[in-house]
Amino acid sequence: MAGSPRRGNLVHTLREAVRRRVTFQKLPSLVPAALGDSAGCLGAGLLALDLLTDTTDPSSPSEVTT
């Protein structure tokens, strides 16, 4: 679907749905992914890599920084 006119319609529809639901907050910027159709796959791969290389002890409490 990269470069198809339907992408513009999808973004417009999503913007309208968000606009109706978001109140008392600044609307987020919604744009098509710069990586196109590969963005979801790349994001999933990076998440999997993070999970596989995580060296934190799951039984220890999380450190909160401010």
Domain residue extents for the chain: 5-50
Q: What is the mean pLDDT of each run of 10 residues along the chain (66 residues)?
A: 60 90 87 83 91 76 63
Would you state the pLDDT for residue 44? Answer: 92
Would you state the pLDDT for residue 17? Answer: 93
Would you state the pLDDT for residue 1? Answer: 44
DSSP secondary structure, 8-61, as one string? HHHHHHHHHHHHHH--SSPPPP----TTGGGHHHHHHHHHHHHHHT--S-TTSP
